[in-house]
Structure 1
Amino acid sequence: MISFNEAKSLLLQQVNSLGSETVPLALSHGRVLARDVCSAIALPPFTSSAMDGYACACDGPAPVELRCIGTIAAGDPLPEQPLGQGECWEIMTGAAVPTDCDRVVPVENTDAQGDMIRIHELSKQFSNIRNQGEELPRGAVLLKAGRCLSATDIGLLAGAGLHQVEVTRKVKVVLLTTGSELLCDLEQPLAPGQIYNSNSFYLQACLRELGCELLMADSIQDEPVAAREILDRALAMEPDLLLTTGAVSAGRFDFVPALLKELQAEVLFHKVAVRPGKPILVAKAPRGSWVVSLPGNPVAAMTGLRFIGGTLLRSLMGLPEEKAVRVPLLNRADSKEGMVSFKKARLEINDQGQARVVILPGQSPAQLSPLREANGWAMVEADDAKLQAGQLVSFYPRVWSDCQGESRFVP
């Protein structure tokens, strides 16, 4: 058995990012940039007005009267007519400012009588003007590689005129859940000894939420010969990741480690000092597929995918190592000494705007109902067996905050 940090270190050292592909910008939400993206144009692309008003080059004391010689609307080309002494242009927000104008006077600081404009308060030189390239020059790096694209990012790239981006390839996953007691058809009543296959439904949804491409999802009975056939078929699809649940510990029906050995998979590690989820196994199949075998207990499967499988997935996607936030505890958190513990938890913000983490009741790896109140996981380190209220704990949101491109720490 290895420590959690050792397991993460091995994965970070040995798992490489997948190849890249170019996709239309409109279809890039949630994808991870494979290369830095630079702007092909200056932002803004031309000098424009920041508000509705009058563009002029007048520096006399107010009040001033100027004759309006025309209107420049957003989208209009720059007028060819030069601005004469005592003249101005009516201009709209976003419209191009002529080069012989050095300020824009807001419309509310003026009165108009026909084409004569009386200015009550004269703006300072260069005020209310957005200069070409003042936000970003042409060629500036807009977003760096390893960033998961959010809606805000896509808006920025569209504003820079980028119609496509190079992103890491989607991770192709096959999911196999094991257990003769599992019933996948939720419309059927449970027979004695059966339970509904919540793992399959949760993991499928989670994988899709993380942006993976699910090639197949199947359930395996506790029968090694039939299981071998399904494993052969799954690996023949050459997924980037084969994810299994159950049959990975040391019981009579825990056949997954033996089958992987038969298939000549190279085991990176088997058993990690974490709770829940100690029996987790990570291996690499001969054709290059990574194999992550999670325990069958639902919460152990969740934390196994979130923290061990998640480290592997992030490396495949080209995402950087995830960092936790350190937040004070509202109540105590216990753990077995020498083991990292993942606790169902809720991040709260109190009336004073202070963040705190609540460890929820019902920490059994078989109990799903406490997750109704959870928005993440508190990680109690191996050397922090007993954390008291007020001490800092590492908190991780339910899903990577950067995977969806937005913060997931809001309760």
Structure 2
Amino acid sequence: MKSVEDHLTGILGRIEPLAPLELQLLDAHGSLLVDEVASTGDLPPFDNSSMDGYAVRISDVADAGERYPVVLDVVDDIAAGDAAETAIGSGTCARIMTGAPLPAGAEAIVPVEWTDAGMPTVRITRRPSAGQYIRRRGSDVTAGQTVLEAGSTIGSAQIGLLAAIGRERIRVRPKPRVVILSTGSELTQPGRPIGPGQIRDSNSYMLTAAAREAGAIAYRVGNVPDDPKVLIDTIEDQLIRADVVVTTGGVSAGAYDVVKAVLSELGTVEFGKVAMQPGMPQGFGVIGPDETPIFTLPGNPVSAFVSFEVFVRPALLRMQGAAVTERPVVRATCATALKSPDGKRQYLRAWYTAPAEGVGEGTVEPVGGTGSHLLGSLAKANALLTVPADVTEVAEGADVAVMLLS
């Protein structure tokens, strides 16, 4: 059997980042930036007010108070989007709205709550400090400043920043398109009645969601019966929209394991055993004229999930150009004693509790049993407790590695 590291290294050695695309901002959402981005101008582009109120000179309002208000003439009324055309002279001010440009001569903003909101004169009962409630040009971003580094994830805040500095399009690594299908004549879809010997297809739903969580565009094909022709026809039909194909089921040594039987004949997909539990039977290779990568995962739900996390997710992140492709791994104190099979790395569904106030180690405890069909316990887990292949017993209180899932 291959080790987990050898199998993953072999996969990543055949996976390359997707070629960059220049996309409009909203189409780039969730992708990774290829080039660093510098601002071509200042942000804000001009001095402006952060409050509705009055633009004043400090010397004119130095003595303002509740008992002895200062009265000033209002010589301009400036709304957001207006040009400030009148300078502020001695004994005058301008009414100004939030975001409006600061008129010449103004040194502070008096909020409207400190006044009687008057026009054409205003009574001011409190004095501001110099520069108060003024947003200075370039106080956020200056021209030429790098605002996003290459490799940054384009989230909603980054899209807002790019729009603010005037960028309409950016170069990103596109999201990989992943086609996911389950195999097995015993499968039926949720919402339909279950016949004798049937189970509902959960894998294609679970892995489609997992691929989306990994940043991919995922297409769920659903289940395919144990028919070699239907299987290969389905895969070939999907290649036109796939950067990656993921199948589940049909990779063991049974008489009806058609995925292994069909794809082995192509000579481009390698099947074998990986020293891990769950998820021992694995297959990986390429298919079609574009040599599209294909992962063939085992059919038991937990085996499929763990296999996706360990092998498929890193490949999808690599295709997106991510610098880090693995889930975070932390050390934790095991809350209970464990046994593990010799020669296989164990991935146990677990609940990880972070240390109080981030100091010291957290704790981890297995959730449910070890059966690869136990989907209920997987849904309660937020981590995978990993036991090395050469360790058969873990004592209570031992230090263990934990792969965080959320």
Matching of residues 28-177 of structure 1 within 5 Å = 28-59=28-59, 62-64=62-64, 65=70, 67-110=72-115, 115-123=121-129, 125-177=130-182
Aligned to 1:306: 309
1:2 pairs with 2:13: no
| Contact preservation (8 Å) 2:79, 2:97 | yes
- CA deviation after TM superposition for structure 1 residue 394, in Å: 2.5
Answer whether contact 2:244 2:294 (CA < 8 A) is retained: yes
Select which of 387, 391, 396 maps to 2:404: 396
Deviations 1:190-235 (A, max 9, x none): 21x3222222232234334545445562534334455445445555
Residues 357 and 395 of structure 1 are in contact (CA less than 8 Å); yes or no, is this contact kept in structure 2? Answer: no
Q: Map of 1:365-376 to 2, 5 A cutoff?
A: 365-376=372-383
- Any conservation in 2 of the 1:176–1:218 contact (CA below 8 Å)? yes
Structure 2: gaps of 5 or more residues? 65-69
Q: Secondary structure at the match of 2:9?
A: helix
Q: What CA distance in whole angstroms lies between the structure 2 residues aligned with 1:233 and 1:108? A: 67
Give the Å deviation of 1:132: 1.2
Q: Does 1:16 align with 2:16?
A: yes
| 1:258–1:52 Cα change, 3 Å | same
CA displacement, residues 280-306 of structure 1 (integer Å, 9 cap, x when unaligned)? 222123631101010111111011112
Structure 1, unpaired ranges of 5+: 398-408
Shift of residue 46, structure 1, vs aligned partner: 1.8
Partner in structure 2 of residue 178 of structure 1:
183
Counterpart in 2 of 1:331?
335
Matches of 2:116 and 2:385, distance apart in 1: 62
Residue matched to 1:403: none
Contact 1:63 1:118 in 2 (8 A): no
C-alpha separation in 1, matches of 2:11 and 2:157: 31
The DSSP-based 3-state class of the residue aligned with 1:280 is strand
Cα gap change, 1:43/1:92 in structure 2, threshold over 3 Å: closer, same or farther? same
Which position in structure 2 is the counterpart of 1:203? 207
CA distance in 2, matches of 1:388, 1:143: 46
SS at match of 1:14: coil
The reply on whether 1:241 has 2:244 as its aligned counterpart is: yes
Kindly indicate whether residue 389 of structure 2 is the aligned counterpart of residue 386 of structure 1: no
Report the Cα offset of residue 77 of structure 1. 2.6
- The residue that corresponds to 1:402 in the other structure is none
Q: Output the CA distance in 2 between the equivalents of 1:387 and 1:282.
A: 36
Contact 1:265 1:286 in 2 (8 A): no
Percent of pairs with identical residues: 31
Q: Structure 1 113/258 Cα, relative in aligned 2: closer, same or farther at 3 Å?
A: closer
Q: Residue 279 of structure 1: which of 271, 278, 281 is its match?
A: 281
Give 1:188's match in structure 2, choosing from 190, 193, 200.
193
After superposition, the Cα gap between the structure-2 partners of 1:79 and 1:179, relative to the gap in structure 1 and judged at 3 Å, is closer
- How has the CA–CA distance of structure 1 residues 342 and 146 changed in structure 2, closer, same or farther, with 3 Å as cutoff? farther
Is contact 2:295-2:312 (8 Å) kept? Answer: yes
Structure 1 residues 250-280: Cα deviation after superposition (integer angstroms, max 9, x where no partner): 344444345333213153x733222211212
Letter in 1 for 2:188: L
Amino acid at match of 1:196: R
Q: CA RMSD in A?
A: 3.3
The TM-score, its normalising length taken from structure 1, stands at: 0.81
Q: CA deviation at 1:242?
A: 1.8
The alignment status of 1:364 with 2:350, answered yes or no, reads: no
TM-score between the two structures when normalised by the length of structure 2: 0.82
